[in-house]
Chains A and B, each alone.
Chain A
Amino acid sequence: MKLLAKYAVLLIVAVVFVYPFLWMLAGSLKPELEIPRLTLWSNTMSLESYHQVFQKIPIGRAFLNSIFVSLSSTLSVVVFGSMVGYALARLRFPGNKLLFALILFTMMIPFQIVLIPQYTLMVLLGWTDTYLALIAPTLMSAFSIILFRQFFLAIPQALIDAARLDGCSELTILFRIVWPMSRPVIITVAILTFMTNWNEVLWPLMVIRERTLMTMPQLVTLYSIGGEAESQLGFILAAATLLALPVIAAYSFFQRYFIEGMASSGLKG
């Protein structure tokens, strides 16, 4: 009996978390007048709202922009981040400890303090309204470097020594020997980086004005609050659904990595 009550509570809470998303999906398919209803089904479901979204705003272009920016940043964070993580974990060089301290320091800085100077730097460099402004500040992540470092510390020294005796360079060792053993951390970092960049909206709002360069969250935000349209409900829900879907899809395949990665990013605090 007590157990049953526990399941009941857990299920009700699950509904509280899932129902709004289902309502959003249903609302994006329902005719405008039926959206406020609580039911998730209508007899006249259609893709009309999505048709409107694609017709009125350059959402396809924004989707590609978001993909391009998030992928570039993910690639860089994984490749260069693992290089730094490897150097910190396995190489002796003067300044190793100092660099590690700097990286920890970077993670502690509240972003409020660097945001405006980063923006003015983009202006000085003439990078506003270019992909560079979106990508450059996300090319590295202190937290990812720490994750790589922790993981690489556990790799047996004998493997690395053997490769060195064979005359491998450190880069070869990293990419040929260490990488294949490090799939979990690579996937975790890749997923966290992609998700963070995909969802980022404040920075794009600051550095991009040109509609064709806007990322998806930015375009959707500006369109839904800008009064540019008579902001129909179905339209907004369709745009929000399009924005949420890629991450939800990735989440349903890789949820373990999402949860463990974000929980560990919590523990850094």
Chain B
Amino acid sequence: MKTWTITALRLKGRDKGSYWLVLPYVLFFVAFVAYPLLFSLILVFHRWNVVSPMEWVGLKNFVRLLQDPQFFRSIVNTLIFLSIHIPLQIVIALCLALLLNARIRGRGFFRAVYFLPVVVSGVAVTLLWQQLYSYDYGVLNTILRGLGLSGLPWLIDRTLAMPSIALMATWKNVGIYIVLFLAGLQNINRELYEAASIDGAGPGRQFLHITLPQLSPATLVVVVLSTIGGFSLFIEPYVLTGGGPMQSTLSGMLYIYNQAFYFNHMGYAATLGVVYALLIFGVVLLQRKVLGSEAGE
């Protein structure tokens, strides 16, 4: 009782009722953030199918992971996805942002149109692209054949399937990055360009030495977000290919899902989740370091 009154007295200088306002979040945090984080650290040392009791297996999950060709396949797939998705995303978004940054009528209209796929359900977009990519009747192959070329086996060929998914993901997400680059462009101080043209720098050199360096914070955001997106790829391969052909589109998230829900290996799925999270962390830190130091120059 006594400690309560002391606490109450101590709180007197503070704002009353604060704790009531934040209590719902604290409860939520404990249940859906703190508990899962701690429990994942327990799960990784166990074999568990949810139904029978957990069985302690020590480091076996990690040993298995290091010998698991499907795990490495999923990482290679993610890297293939990112190596196409990120450059494509940056080039297209930057070009369109530069065009929109000129004195253009209807900038708002174009921006809104390019942004449209971003807000639409990933499932709807994926089902739509499944039809666009269809080998026999797909719109893309119809256009290619109309131009006298032969149709491409977009999702059927194992070297082409992941690039096809990367192309689709770029179409869906590029709108966000256009907006980010456009905001970055509009933040560049006009005087920098004036000073440069007085010094005799042409448009090309102005772009290289002013625009690009000034945009590097925006570029970093684009790279980081695309990376996180690439590591979280799920519904696209789930719907389009089921991870095939020959596991060429098996993504990390899809592999975690399969381990958890087809094989009921919760311990191993959690281990994959932890390792993937650490990988994301590592890659993003690296990107920040490399691109961030460029931004500082």
Contact = CB atoms under 8 A, between A and B. Distances in A.
Interface of A: 6-7, 9-10, 13-14, 16-18, 20-21, 23-24, 27, 35-38, 80-81, 83-84, 86-88, 90-94, 96, 99, 102-103, 106, 109-121, 123, 136-137, 139-140, 145, 169-171, 174, 195, 198-199, 201-202, 205-206, 217, 220-221, 224-225, 233, 236-237, 239-241, 243-244, 247-248, 251, 255, 258-259, 262-263, 266-267, 269
B119 A251 contact: yes
B15 interface: yes
Given A220-B123, A225-B238, A240 B280 contact: no
10 contacts: A16-B171, A93-B19, A112-B232, A112-B273, A113-B40, A137-B32, A221-B238, A247-B120, A251-B119, A259-B179
B1 interface: no
Nearest to A119: B260
B235 A120 contact: no
B123 A221 contact: yes
Given A110-B228, A115-B273, A237-B131, A258 B139 contact: no
A121 B137 CA distance: 45
Nearest to A221: B123
B155 to A, nearest CB: 13
A237 B22 CA distance: 45
B221 A267 contact: yes
A198 B121 contact: yes
Q: In terms of DSSP, what is the predominant structure of the interface of chain B?
A: helix
Given A35-B137, A112-B272, 11 more contacts: A10-B96, A13-B96, A20-B132, A90-B15, A116-B256, A117-B39, A120-B43, A170-B15, A198-B121, A217-B123, A258-B118
Contact of A38 (B17, B25, B143): B143
Contacts, number: 270
Contacts of B142: 36-38
A221 B35 contact: no
B110 interface: yes
